[in-house]
Amino acid sequence: MPDSTGRILWRRFPVLGGVARGIRRGTVFWGIGSFLFFMLYFFHVRRQIDLRFLYHAGNFALPSGTVIDFPIYRYGSEFLKGFLVRPGGLSEYVASGLCQYYYYSYLGPLVVTSVALLMYFLSHCLIRIYGGRGGGVLRFVPPVLLLIACNRYTFVLHNHVALVAALVGSVIYLFVAARTSRALVGFIVFAVTCVIVYCMAGGSYMLLAILCVSFELLTRRRYLLGGLYVLIALLVPLGGAWFFGIAFDDAYVRPSGLFPFDGTLGVTVLWGLYVFFVLAAVAPLIRCATGWLARVSGAFRPSGKLQAACTAAVLVAASVLSALLTVDRDVRRLLKANYLARMERWGELLEDVRRHRSQGYTPSVMLDINRALFETGQLGSRMFSYPQHPSVLFEIGSHAVDYKGGCEVLLRLGRINEAEHAALEAVEINGERPETLRSLAVIYIVKDQVDTARVFLTMLSKDPIAGEWARETLRRLEDDPRMSSDEQIRYLRSVMPLRDMIVTSTRSTESMVGTMNTREMLLLALLVRNRKNRMAFEYLMAHYLLTKQPGKIACSLRRLDDFDYPAVPDHYGEAVLMYAYNVRRQVKPAGSAIRACTRRKVRKVIAIVGDCKGDKDAISKALDAEFPDSYCRYLLTDKSGGSR
Partner 1 sequence: MIHRRWFCIFVPLAIAVLIVLYYCFPPSVTVPGKYVEAPRRPSIDPDYANCTIPPNIAPLNFAIREPGADYRVRVYGDEGEGFVVSSRSGRIVIPMDKWKALLELNRGGDLYFDIYALGQRGRWRRFSTITNSIARQDVDSHLVYRRIKPVHTIYTNMGTYQRDVSTYRETPVLLSDPDSHRCVNCHTFVNNNPDTMCLHVRGPGNAAMILAKDGSAAKIDTRTSFNARPASYTAWHPSGRLAAFASIGVIQFHHAVGNSRGVLDLGSDVCLYIVDSNRVTSSPEIADRDRLETFPTWSPDGKHLYFCSAGKIWEDRPGVPEEYHEIRYDLVRVSYDLASGRCGKRQTVLSAEETGLSINEPRISPDGRFLLFCMARHGSFPVFLKSSDLYMMDLETGRYRRLGINSDRSDSWHCWSSNSRWIVFASKRRDGLFGRVYFSYVDRQGKARKPVLLPQRDPEFYDSFIENFNAPELITEPISIGAAALARAVESSEQTDAAFVPMPSAPVADTRGDKEPPATQPRKTVKTDLQSARRHYRLARGLIQKGQTARAIEQYRLSIESLPRSHAANVPALRELAWIHAANPSEKIRDGKEAISLAARARILAQRQIRLARSGRARKHARTALPQLYDTCAVALAQCARFSDAAKTALHAERLALDEGQIELAVKIRRRVELYLAGKPYRSSRIE
Residue ranges that bind partner 1, judged by CB under 8 A: 78, 398, 415, 417-418, 420-421, 424-425, 427-429, 432, 444, 449, 451-452, 454-456, 458-459, 461-462, 496-510, 512, 517, 520-521, 524-525, 527-528, 549, 551-552, 554-556, 558, 579, 583-585, 587
CB of 464 to partner 1, least distance (A): 15
For partner 1, the closer of residues 184 and 502 by Cβ is: 502
CB of 56 to partner 1, least distance (A): 22
Q: At what angle are helices 363-375 and 400-413 packed, to 10 degrees?
A: 20
User: Cβ neighbours of residue 540 under 8 Å, at least 6 residues apart?
Assistant: 520, 523, 524, 527, 556
For partner 1, the closer of residues 193 and 204 by Cβ is: 193
CB of 638 to partner 1, least distance (A): 20
CB of 394 to partner 1, least distance (A): 15
Distance, CA of 635 to CA of 639 (rounded, Å): 8
| Bridge-based pairing state of the strands 67-69 and 59-61 | antiparallel
SS3 sequence of 571-615: HHHHHHHHHHHHHCCCCCCCCCCECHHHHHHHHHHHHHHHHHCCC
CB of 477 to partner 1, least distance (A): 13
For partner 1, the closer of residues 241 and 265 by Cβ is: 241
Distance, CA of 537 to CA of 412 (rounded, Å): 13
CB of 78 to partner 1, least distance (A): 6
Q: Are 394 and 406 in contact (CB under 8 A)?
A: yes
CB of 73 to partner 1, least distance (A): 14
For partner 1, the closer of residues 316 and 503 by Cβ is: 503
In this structure, the chain runs to a length of 644
CB of 504 to partner 1, least distance (A): 6
For partner 1, the closer of residues 185 and 275 by Cβ is: 185
Distance, CA of 414 to CA of 498 (rounded, Å): 11
For partner 1, the closer of residues 178 and 555 by Cβ is: 555
For partner 1, the closer of residues 289 and 503 by Cβ is: 503
Q: At what angle are helices 534-546 and 400-413 packed, to 10 degrees?
A: 130
For partner 1, the closer of residues 332 and 531 by Cβ is: 531
For partner 1, the closer of residues 556 and 640 by Cβ is: 556
Could you tell me which of 563, 590, 589, 561 has the C-alpha nearest to residue 574?
589
CB of 79 to partner 1, least distance (A): 10
Could you tell me which of 544, 545, 594 has the C-alpha nearest to residue 565?
594
Distance, CA of 37 to CA of 57 (rounded, Å): 28
Paired residues of 59 in beta bridges: 69
Could you tell me which of 192, 284, 272 has the C-alpha nearest to residue 236?
192
CB of 620 to partner 1, least distance (A): 25
For partner 1, the closer of residues 387 and 397 by Cβ is: 397
Distance of alpha carbon 502 from the chain centroid: 36
Could you tell me which of 320, 431, 393 has the C-alpha nearest to residue 545?
393
- Over the range 276-290, which residues count as b (16 or more CB within 10 Å of their CB) and which as e? bbeebbbbeebeeeb
